[in-house]
Amino acid sequence: MGLLEDKVVLVNGGSQGVGAAVVRAAVREGASVVFSGRRADVGEKLAADTGARFVRADLSDPAQAGDGVVQAVDAHGRIDCVVNAAGLTSRGSLLDTTPELFDQHMAINLRAPFFAMQAAVADMTARKAPGTVVNIISNCAHGGPPHLAPYSAAKAGLAGLTRNAAHAHRWDRIRINGLNIGWTDTEGEDATQRAFHDAGDDWREKAAQSQPMGKLGQVDEIADFVVFLLSDRSGVVTGSVIDWDQIVFGGQD
**Which among 222, 76, 217, 31 has a CA at the least distance from the CA of 135?**
222
Does the annotation mark 44 as catalytic? no
CA distance 166 to 239: 5
Candidate list 35, 114, 151, 244, residue with the active-site label? 151
Question: How far is the C-alpha of 121 from the C-alpha of 169, rounded, in Å?
Answer: 8
Q: How far is CA 155 from CA 56, 133, 149, 232, 242, in A?
A: 24, 16, 10, 26, 13
Amino acid at 135: N
Kindly report the number of other CB atoms within 10 A of residue 73's CB atom.
18
Residues serving a catalytic function are 151
